[in-house]
Structure 1
Amino acid sequence: MEFDAVLLPPRRARMVAQGLWHDRTINDALDACVAACPDKVALTAVRMKDGEGEGATVRFTYRELGRMADRIAVGLARLGVGRNDVVACQLPNWWEFTLVYLACSRIGAVMNPLMHIFRERELSFMLKHGAAKVLIVPARFRGFDFEQMATGLQADLPDLAQVVVVGGSGANSFDALLAGPAWETEPDAAQVLQRARPGPDDVTQLIYTSGTTGEPKGVMHSANTTMANIVPYAQRLGLGADDVVLMASPMAHQTGFMYGLMMPIVLQASVVLQDIWEPRQAIASINAEGVSFTMASTPFLSDLSKTVAESGTPVPTLRAFLCAGAPIPGALVEQARKALGAKIVSAWGMTENGAVTLTRLDDEDERSIHTDGCPLPGVELKVVDVDGLALPAGEVGRLLLRSCSNFGGYLKRPQFNGTDAADWFDTGDLARIDERGYVRIAGRTKDVIIRGGENIPVVEVESLLYRNPDIAMAAVVAYPDERLGERACAVVVPKPGRQIDLPSLVAFLKAEKVALQYIPERLIVRETMPSTPSGKIQKFKLRDELMRADESGAPAA
């Protein structure tokens, strides 16, 4: 694969001169861990029982982590994976996820993390666009046959040479191909592991994010862009080698990837992975492993706080819970502080940058309720009007950022990079910045709904609804939800003489192989749509009607 990370070279000299790029890769960090603390527990993976088999807990010391990374790396090379080849990984928070990334980094391959909720429609585009050479999936997870789906897709993906199955028993199993044979002891192993190690500006991660184009965009990151975020992030939170991180947020998201996979290794700390969110298990892990920090979206915080309060089981080692993805209700901050005894940190970020703003540990709680934090070191923010002119404090406008952790660009789509000659990146969000430099996200110019921290690609769902033979017009808009932040509502105008209801709409989208989390959970049927003179649907009016209807208890239309 030829990567067009055009945003990296122009800013390299400045970033290095300012000390914001560290020219250090995850290989350097792992090697340092193996040398400094080889027998320290690096990773504890808690696999919940999900109907596919008994749960289990697996542990790796740093010595074992390094050895297994080398083993899998040589195994990938035996499958024909080399420098700049893409290895797609659609796994839950299992130890294999972490090891696949470390192995890719050993041989200069690029990991493409994929959410386990994706199905044929999303995967076929991403795997083809990224020219993935290897796809690693579970045999089954939460009742779904991933092996069957992956092998079914392979015929239409000419670049996909190998499907590897975790938990499989055949010749294509993860154990048979990668983790079982002692590849690291082969005569040529040292040569394989050294000949293509990536540099700090090489693309190391390809991760897809939904946007306004209706198709996912492939975000390219290097070691320098990710490390430039992880280091100040950990410093602001006071995290170090003595900390234990709990990561139950999916590692196929930037949250889990950067702060559950990479950060513990950078800090020589320890991580506990949990594959299925269950607050009672989280409490057990926090107390058994001495977890001091975790990061997740608002529903996780709500569930954990409620369960701790109801069970009467305290979590005294937990010092901080960083919550991002949606504003944190004031009542939840109060409840969480009382139940958990931990500092609740508010944050905002993007796949393209990682975390951008965080509240500080010594901030008053109101800052976490009313703001999304202030910029990390190496990040500049400004709010501008429609003409690009800076707005004064407190006024809402387009949010631009200039960051040391800004991505290298969108794969094969440089026209969407959204970064000007002065390195200002248009976030697509509306925000205001107060007189102390704290930010509050006020809305989105991008047409994306965030449901429990998961972006719903609105344009793509709408385009599918227009293929429904019963629908003449369709719009998907957000409505507020106490637990998830937002949910999706489909607003439709039926064709003359046709009818549509929510069950049939859901069945239609399921038949189109849409991820379940993307399917609207509410339906409003209208005779007409509010629109501009040019015919564009005025979604803000639909959102306002939804909000008024919810407040009054009356139908929205």
Structure 2
Amino acid sequence: MNTFDQQSLCDVVQERAERDPHGLALVELRDEHDLCLSWGQLAEQADRAATTLLDLGVRPGESVMVQLPNSIDFVVMSLATLRIGAVCCPVLPILGQRELVYVLERSRARVLVTPADFRGRQHAREALELAAAGRTAHLRHLLVTGGTASLTDERCGIRQVPRLGVHDLAARIAATPAGPLTGVGERSLHDVAHLLFTSGTTGEPKGVPHRMRTLNQAVSLMSRRVGLTADDRVHIASPMAHHSGFLYGMWLSLLLGCVQVIQPVWNAPLALRAFAQWRGTFMQGAAPFLLDMVTAVHNAQPAPHSLRTFVVTGAAVPRRLAAEARDVLGARICAAWGSTETCMATLSAPQDDLGTVADGRPLDGVRVRAVDEGGIDVGTGREGLLEVTGPFVFDGYLDRDDLTAEAFTADGWYRSGDLAVIEPSGCVRITGRVKDVVNRGGEKIPVGEIEQILLAHPAIRDAAIVAMPDLRLGERACLFAVTHPGRVIKLEDVQSHLATHMVTKSFWPEHIEFIDELPRNPAGKIQKYLLREIARGVAASA
């Protein structure tokens, strides 16, 4: 794996294609017939797509925005972008027009790769409308997957927008002659390769650039901790526009030479069918993926016998769910913590007991500390503000020196915004977010720990605690609960459960709201700001 520090991802893929041109590289799950691509086909399509980008005037260092679902097209366009030294900037297909305008302007992307339509939305038409309205100052080209027929008017063809070219991606690639890629200069491992925008759940999305070498190291050390090799098969259901799908799905597979099985839209029965057919051994994703598969197996779907390891990211893995998943799915469950800015920083090993390692140990080269509000290290066993430094931490936000200065300490540690306890063993236990703290009359409630205890209640399927305004105490704890089908629970049952676990009474939730599903972003993180808005409304109407 040490060679990954000296090789670009593109070179690794090219070497694999030359060595094993007919070997299976990619599987895209379809409703009827799955689509497969060999290493040779992948390299050829990526080179043709790279030539297309060069023909459109894309140059090293500029961003190419890829707004595609998990797909072979996503992998091809990501590789093509990297191949010419440009920066791959993936964004979610669910992004609305307002948010798309924001990231297009921030990234200054002149090329947007987008589907004609996906899940009921006409993405290419929406982008065309934005350009026609003059809201995309930098955009010059739309590369459309799925054809351009949906953009065509019977009378006058595709709507003409000044300074914007619209191209059928498949047709452009097919029309490009096969052959060695020309016109590409030397690429450095220290060049920025990836630009990812934060989810924006606590403010405006921020552009986070990462260098090629950083991403290679992040994947190399993570795969070493989990024990992954080229013989593994990686099932990718997490969005490729997030680290879980992009870095620890696609990039991981390409770097190790694994087969990657790509699932465009999450559906647990489809995933289990794919495990039976394609024999996936590794998957990374948020806890809801794990829960859905456990539920599906309970409902007579086949267990994924090939699945060896599942890494839970996005939020803390409920211990009860981890134990049940291990028994029902037969897989080892690993806990991890990281962020867009730090990549994966802590990770448990497959043989670890999640009851003792909490959210994992720092990966090699990563250092963590918990500090008080004055920046003083609180040592082990005490809750503090989690700060991180190491080889995967980004250098700073895109064009936002002010936010970068706020994010780093004077001695160069990244302020994560999370609360955590560093155990004497070196393991990290995430206890909440600074902005998620419930301050009840000056007493800080350890929200993360209380949520874990509540998730062990047999009636509770999912739970989140947020602050509810209170005239006397300032804030009280409000529990949002998702119950298992057919189960009923009252506030006094919740409080009795916490009393059984000897939880301090002032930490107990004092109001409960039932909800069908907790709002989560595509990375699986609970959008607590939405829950706080509901809680404020409930308090105001009381």
| Structure-1 separation of matches of 2:73 and 2:223 | 25
Alignment of 1:165 with 2:144, yes or no, is yes
Whether the 8 Å contact between 1:105 and 1:198 is mirrored in structure 2 is: no
Measure how far apart 1:402 and its partner are. 0.7
| Structure-2 separation of matches of 1:545 and 1:145 | 34
The residue correspondences of 1:212-223 to structure 2 (distance < 5 A) are: 214-223=203-212
Aligned counterpart in structure 1 of residue 97 of structure 2, from 120, 136, 139: 120
**In the alignment, what sits opposite 1:64?**
41
| Structure-2 separation of matches of 1:483 and 1:354 | 29
Where in structure 1 are there 5+ consecutive unaligned residues? 1-18, 49-54, 449-479, 492-528
1:148-187 C-alpha deviation (Å, 9 max, x unpaired): 211112231121001121112356221123x2223444xx
Summarize the Cα distance change of 1:430–1:20 in structure 2 as closer, same or farther, 3 Å threshold. farther
SS at match of 2:45: helix
- Give the alignment's TM-score, normalised by structure 2: 0.78
Measure how far apart 1:378 and its partner are. 1.3
Aligned counterpart in structure 2 of residue 77 of structure 1, from 28, 31, 54: 54
1:41-84 C-alpha deviation (Å, 9 max, x unpaired): 11101134xxxxxx542111111111111000001111111111
SS at match of 1:277: coil
Alignment of 1:37 with 2:37, yes or no, is no
Amino acid at match of 1:160: L
**In the alignment, what sits opposite 1:409?**
396
Alignment of 1:359 with 2:377, yes or no, is no
Whether the 8 Å contact between 1:315 and 1:340 is mirrored in structure 2 is: yes
Measure how far apart 1:446 and its partner are. 4.7
Alignment of 1:110 with 2:79, yes or no, is no
Alignment of 1:182 with 2:176, yes or no, is yes
Summarize the Cα distance change of 1:431–1:92 in structure 2 as closer, same or farther, 3 Å threshold. same
Alignment of 1:136 with 2:113, yes or no, is yes
Measure how far apart 1:551 and its partner are. 8.0
| Structure-1 separation of matches of 2:169 and 2:302 | 38
| Structure-2 separation of matches of 1:416 and 1:372 | 27
**In the alignment, what sits opposite 2:374?**
387
The residue correspondences of 1:537-552 to structure 2 (distance < 5 A) are: 540-541=475-476, 543=478, 547-550=509-512
| Structure-1 separation of matches of 2:463 and 2:92 | 20
The residue correspondences of 1:121-520 to structure 2 (distance < 5 A) are: 121-154=98-131, 155-170=134-149, 172-177=167-172, 179-185=173-179, 190-192=181-183, 194-195=184-185, 197-210=186-199, 214-367=203-356, 371-417=358-404, 418-446=407-435, 486=464
Whether the 8 Å contact between 2:478 and 2:513 is mirrored in structure 1 is: no
Measure how far apart 1:486 and its partner are. 4.8
Measure how far apart 1:365 and its partner are. 4.0
| Structure-2 separation of matches of 1:20 and 1:398 | 36
Calculate the aligned-residue CA RMSD, in Å. Answer: 2.8
Larger RCO (CA under 8 A, 6+ residues apart): 1
| Structure-1 separation of matches of 2:479 and 2:329 | 36
Whether the 8 Å contact between 2:25 and 2:38 is mirrored in structure 1 is: yes
Summarize the Cα distance change of 1:232–1:552 in structure 2 as closer, same or farther, 3 Å threshold. closer
1:429-482 C-alpha deviation (Å, 9 max, x unpaired): 11111111111111112579xxxxxxxxxxxxxxxxxxxxxxxxxxxxxxx996
Summarize the Cα distance change of 1:275–1:541 in structure 2 as closer, same or farther, 3 Å threshold. same
| Structure-1 separation of matches of 2:209 and 2:127 | 24
Whether the 8 Å contact between 1:347 and 1:355 is mirrored in structure 2 is: yes
**In the alignment, what sits opposite 1:3?**
none
Amino acid at match of 1:322: V
1:352-390 C-alpha deviation (Å, 9 max, x unpaired): 12111111111124246xx11111111000001111111
| Structure-2 separation of matches of 1:157 and 1:145 | 18
Measure how far apart 1:415 and its partner are. 2.1
Whether the 8 Å contact between 1:359 and 1:367 is mirrored in structure 2 is: no
Aligned counterpart in structure 2 of residue 99 of structure 1, from 76, 80, 90: 76
Whether the 8 Å contact between 1:134 and 1:161 is mirrored in structure 2 is: yes
SS at match of 2:296: helix
Which stretch shifts more, 207-216 or 134-143?
207-216
1:10-32 C-alpha deviation (Å, 9 max, x unpaired): xxxxxxxxx89814321122122
Measure how far apart 1:36 and its partner are. 3.1
| Structure-2 separation of matches of 1:130 and 1:300 | 31
Summarize the Cα distance change of 1:117–1:60 in structure 2 as closer, same or farther, 3 Å threshold. same
| Structure-2 separation of matches of 1:38 and 1:97 | 20
| Structure-2 separation of matches of 1:551 and 1:214 | 25
Summarize the Cα distance change of 1:486–1:272 in structure 2 as closer, same or farther, 3 Å threshold. farther
1:239-295 C-alpha deviation (Å, 9 max, x unpaired): 001000001010001110001110011111111000111111101111111110101
1:115-160 C-alpha deviation (Å, 9 max, x unpaired): 1111011111111111011111111111111112111122311210
Summarize the Cα distance change of 1:132–1:243 in structure 2 as closer, same or farther, 3 Å threshold. same
| Structure-2 separation of matches of 1:432 and 1:444 | 12
Measure how far apart 1:548 and its partner are. 2.0
Summarize the Cα distance change of 1:488–1:79 in structure 2 as closer, same or farther, 3 Å threshold. farther
Measure how far apart 1:330 and its partner are. 2.5
**In the alignment, what sits opposite 2:492?**
none
SS at match of 1:141: coil
Summarize the Cα distance change of 1:139–1:244 in structure 2 as closer, same or farther, 3 Å threshold. same
| Structure-1 separation of matches of 2:95 and 2:514 | 36
| Structure-2 separation of matches of 1:488 and 1:277 | 28
Whether the 8 Å contact between 1:299 and 1:483 is mirrored in structure 2 is: no
| Structure-2 separation of matches of 1:483 and 1:162 | 46
Summarize the Cα distance change of 1:315–1:75 in structure 2 as closer, same or farther, 3 Å threshold. same
Whether the 8 Å contact between 1:86 and 1:132 is mirrored in structure 2 is: yes
SS at match of 1:43: strand
Amino acid at match of 2:208: V
